[in-house]
Amino acid sequence: DDENIRLFTHLQVKEDSHTLFGFIEASEREIFRLLLSVSGIGSSTARTMLSSMTPHQTRDAIAQGDVPAIQAIKGIGAKTAQRVILDLKDKVLKIYDLDEVYPNSNNTKKDEALSALEVLGFQRKQAEKAVDKVLGQDASLSVENIIKHALKNL
């Protein structure tokens, strides 16, 4: 049977190995490459994520800041899930031309900002003071701007 297929590939070159990854869809390869750009995410973790969720689900979970969805993937802890979202949310929103998607109301902007600051190594109490100060000045800021302003106060 002569059947042609199109395969999208990613070649990972390391000092001791060359590894070729194959993907049926370009979107899957694109998400894989984005995941590899996150500190602490290697090829096996990125593959695990993509075999647990479709590229579309992965993209949406990142865009929505859905830590529990990403954390539900085998081998992904809370800090890694938060780091994936912190590092990739802006890129995903820009690449896929999505409007900022507001997560469930139980995951407030304050909670997201606090989680991100904790991932960056700040103590919860310190971070909470800084975030409260920022929100006291302007409660309409996006999560990213809350974090940026809070970092100036830490």
Which DSSP string do the residues of 2-71 spell out, in sequence order?
------EEEEEE-SS-EEEEEESSHHHHHHHHHHHTSTT--HHHHHHHHHHS-HHHHHHHHHTT-HHHHH
The three-class DSSP label of residue 141 is coil
Q: Give the predicted TM-score (pTM) of the model.
A: 0.62
Q: Which two tokens stand for residue 150?
A: 């809070």
DSSP 132: H
Same structural domain, 77 and 117? no
Is 101 inside a domain boundary?
Answer: no
Residue 114 sits in a domain of what CATH number?
A: 1.10.8.10
**In the predicted model, what is the mean pLDDT of residues 143-151?**
91
Instruction: Tell me the per-residue pLDDT of 107-143, one tens digit each, with 9 for 90 and over.
Output: 478 888 888 898 888 988 888 889 888 888 887 888 8
**In the predicted model, what is the mean pLDDT of residues 41-56?**
93
Instruction: Tell me the per-residue pLDDT of 3-13, one tens digit each, with 9 for 90 and over.
Output: 898 999 999 99
Same structural domain, 69 and 131? no
Instruction: Tell me the per-residue pLDDT of 68-105, one tens digit each, with 9 for 90 and over.
Output: 999 999 889 999 999 999 999 999 888 877 665 544 44
> What is the pLDDT, as a whole number, of residue 105?
41
